Chain A
Amino acid sequence: MKASPPLLDVRDLAVAFDTDGGTVHAVNGVSYALREGETLGIVGESGSGKSVHVLAMLGLVPRPPGRITGGQVYFSGSDLLALPERRLRRVRGPEIGMVFQDPMSSLNPAMTVAAQVAEPLRLHCGLDASSARARARDLLDLVRIPDAARRLDHYPHEFSGGQRQRVMIAIGLACRPKLLIADEATTALDVTVQAEIVALVQELKREIGMAIIWITHDLGVVAGIADTVQVMYAGRIVERGPVDAVFSDPRNAYTLGLLRSLPDLSRGRAGRQRLRQIEGSPPDMRHPPPGDPFAPRNPYATPRCRAEAPPLAQVRGSVPGHLAAAWYDLPARLADGAGR
C-alpha cells in the first residue's frame, strides 16, 4: 500500500511567549502527521502545549507576546506558517473547522444564529444570502437542533449549553472542511450532553468523512473516538500511537500515571486502594527542568532522564507507529517493582 501524503504534517513546531517573568517555552519541537479521515485525540493538562500548538498553526496566537520560534505546518501541501493572514483566512473555516470550549464566548450574543452560521457560507463558499440561509437551516438539522427552521432567528442565549455547542459544530462544519479541530469542546458540558455531542461528531464523521483533532484532558472520550492518541507534556509529545496500543501498553511514565490515577468506575468501595497519584506539579515553563521534563515527578526516572531529553522513537516490541519519549524501559521497570 503506497501511503498518500498526509493531510496535515507538523514539523518541529516551537512556540514561545515573552512575559514579564521571562520566556515561556510553550511548544518545544512538536512533529506529527494526520491522515485524511483520521481521528487524533490529543491529551494533556494545562500548559502541555496541546491547545497552543493548534492555535499557532492556525495563526491564532497573538503576536506579541507569542512567537513561533520554529517549524513548518503543511496542510494540503502548503506551509500554513508561511501563509499571509489573508490566505490563512481562506483556510480557517472553509478547510479547517474549529470548535472551542466555551460556545457562549465564541458566539456573538447580538447576532442571530442564522447570521452566524450563514457568515462562513457567504464569505467562503460564495453563497448568496437566501441560499446561505437555506444551508444554515440544513446545518442546524444536521447537528440535530429540533425545529431548526424556527430557531434560525433565535439568539445564542435562547439555546442551552449543549445546543450552543451544536451550533458551533454547525459553523465549524459549514463549508465541509477536511479537518475539524475540537479544543475541549465538551469540557464545560454535562456528562449526558457530552455523550450526545460525541455521538453527533461520530455520526457526522461517518457522513462527511473529515479528519478530526480532538483535544481534551478526558482519557475516556479519547478511548472511544480516536484512531490515534497523542499525549503531550511540557510542550512535547511524550507518547503517541494507535489508541489500543497506547492504552493497553503505555511506555511513557506520564501516560501510565494518567491512566492509573483514574478510579475504576466498576470497582466497589470494598477492597479499593488509595488512588495512585502523580506526585508534584506540572513544570513552570519559564524554567523547564533540564532533560526529560517529567523526570522530577517520575518514580521510574533514570539519571539520564534528568540530564538529557529523550527523543520520540518507535517503541520496540509494539505496533508500528507507537512512539514514546523515554530513556527507561517502562515494562521492565514495572516488572522490577520500581516506583512502587
Chain B
Amino acid sequence: MRPVKPEPLLSVRNLSKHYPLRHWWGGRSAVFRAVEDVSFDIAPGETLGLVGESGSGKSTIGRAVTMLNPPSTGTVAFEGTDLASLPAREMRRMRRRIQVIFQDPYAALNPRMSAGAYVAEPFRLHRPDMGGAESRDAVAALFQRVGLDPRFAGRYPHQFSGGQRQRLCIARAIALKPSFIVADEPIAALDVSIQAQVVNLLQDLQEELGLSYLFISHDLRMVRYLCHRVAVLRRGRIVELADSDTLYEDPRHPYTRALLGAVPVPDPAAERARLRATREAPAAAIPEAGPLEEVGPGHWVARAAHV
C-alpha cells in the first residue's frame, strides 16, 4: 500500500538513489543508499513539504524528480509521463513545465549577466520565436510580478540584496509558466526579515498560476505554514507523511516527534517550559524505518523495520 491521491500532477514511485562506495584501494564495493524506496504524489496546486535533517536525502529527491540527477530506480511520472524514460529532446520540452529554485540565489546567478538577460534566458532557449521587444515586455512583467522594479533589468547580481536575488531566480523560474517548482531551501540563506516576503510571494504565485511546489526545508515553522501536506524524511526513507495539520498535531513516528519537539518557540515562558520538559524527558529510541502503513486517512507512518 502506498499513499495515493487521484490524478496527481507528479507521481513518484519506489524512488531510490544509490551511490557506489568503493574503498580507495579497490576491494569490496558497497552502495550508499541516499534515498530508499520513496513514494509520494503531488496534486495540481498543492505544496508538499519535505523535511528532515541534513543528509536525510531531501535535496537528492528534489534533484531526482527533476531529472537533474536521475534516480537509480523507481519512476517519476509527470502528468502520467515517466520522466526517466523520456528521450533527451522530449525532456528538454518538459523542462519548461518543471523548474527549480535553490537555496543560494547568488550561486545560481551568473555574475556577468544582467538581471534582465538572466530572466530572459528561458525565452532565448525555449522560445526562439519571441522577438526582442516581446521578450523585453515579458521580462518587465515578470519583474513586476515578483516585486522588482523593471528599471533594475540592466543591473548585475551584486547590485541586488539577497532577497531581491531570490526574487530574480523566482522570476526566471516562472518565465515559461511551469506547473511544478521544486524549491530547495529557498529561504534558508535569507535574512529573517526577508523570509516572510519570499514565502508570501511563493504563495501568491501558487494561487495565481495554480503551481504545485515541492518545498524542501528544515524550517519546520515555515513548512507548517506553507505546505498542504508534509513528508518527514530520515536516512533516505519517508518515516511519516500526512496533511500538515495532522502531522503537526498528531505526529506518530518517534522521529517526527523528536523533530517537532526540538523547534524553539519565540515566547520566553513557553520556551523555558519546553527546555525544562526536554531536560526531564528521556529521548525516545528511534527505530529504522520500514514500510509505510496508513494509520488514518492520508496519514502514513513507517513501521519499525525488522532488522
User: Which A residues form the contact surface with B (CB < 8 A)?
Assistant: 45-46, 161, 190-195, 198-199, 202, 217-221, 223-225, 243-244, 247-248, 254, 257-259, 261-270, 272, 274-279, 281-282, 297
- Taken together as a complex, chains A and B put the C-alpha atoms of A46 and B195 apart, in Å, by 13
Asked whether B191 lies within 8 Å of A217 as measured between CB atoms, the reply is yes
Q: Is the interface of B mostly helix, strand, loop or mixed?
A: helix
B-side interface residues, number (CB < 8 Å): 45
When A198-B275, A202-B275 are in contact, do A191 and B218 touch as well, CB less than 8 Å?
yes
B134, CB-defined interface residue at 8 Å: no
**Quick one: which of B161, B224, B259, B278 contacts A199, CB cutoff 8 A?**
B278
Across the interface, A223 reaches (CB within 8 A) one of B164, B192, B268, namely B268
Whether A263 pairs with B222 at a CB distance below 8 angstroms is yes
Task: Judge whether B164 and A244 touch: CB under 8 Å.
Answer: no
Q: Which residues of A contact B259 (CB under 8 A)?
A: 191-192
Cβ-neighbour of B275 out of A45, A199, A264, A275 (below 8 A): A199
User: What are 10 contact pairs spanning A and B, CB under 8 A?
Assistant: A195-B278, A220-B271, A224-B268, A224-B274, A264-B221, A265-B220, A265-B248, A266-B248, A268-B249, A278-B196
CB distance from A206 to the nearest CB of B (A): 11
Query: When the two chains form their complex, are residues A275 and B245 in contact, meaning their CB atoms are under 8 A apart?
Result: no
Contacts of B121-160 to chain A: CB distance below 8 A: none
- Given A191-B259, A281-B161, does the pair A276, B196 have CB atoms closer than 8 Å? yes
- Taken together as a complex, chains A and B put the C-alpha atoms of A55 and B261 apart, in Å, by 34
Contact B272 A224 (CB under 8 A): yes
- Contacting residue for A282 out of B161, B268, B271, CB 8 A: B161
Q: 1/0 contact trace for B219-241 toward A, CB 8 Å?
A: 01110110010000000000000
Interchain CA distance A297-B161 in the complex, whole Å: 15
Name B54's closest neighbour in chain A (CB-CB): A190
User: A190: which of B53, B221, B248 is its contact (CB, 8 Å)?
Assistant: B53
- List of A residues within 8 angstroms of B245 by Cβ: 268-270
**Which of chain B's residues has its CB closest to A275's CB?**
B196
Which of the residues B164, B196, B200, B221 comes within 8 Å of A281, measured between beta carbons? B164
Complex CA distance for A45 and B190, rounded to whole angstroms: 9
B residues within 8 A CB of A223? 264-268, 270-272
Q: Would you call B279 and A263 a contact (CB within 8 A)? A: no
Given the known A-B contacts A192-B262, A282-B191, are A275 and B220 also in contact in the complex, defined by CB atoms under 8 Å? no
For A217, the chain B residues whose CB sits under 8 A away are 191-192
Expressed in whole angstroms, the minimum distance between the Cβ of A42 and any Cβ of chain B is 13
The 10 closest A-B CB pairs, nearest first, are A220-B264, A263-B225, A224-B271, A45-B191, A277-B196, A190-B53, A195-B262, A275-B196, A219-B266, A261-B196
Chain B contacts with A in 181-220, Cβ cutoff 8 A: 191-197, 199-200, 203, 218, 220
Given the contacts A269-B228, A276-B196, A194 and B262 also touching, CB distance less than 8 Å: yes
- Shortest beta-carbon distance, B282 to chain A, in Å? 13
Which chain B residues (243-300) contact chain A, with CB distance < 8 Å? 244-245, 248-249, 258-259, 261-272, 274-275, 278-279
Question: B194: which A residues are within 8 A, CB to CB?
Answer: 45, 278, 281
Smallest CB gap from B272: residue in A: A224
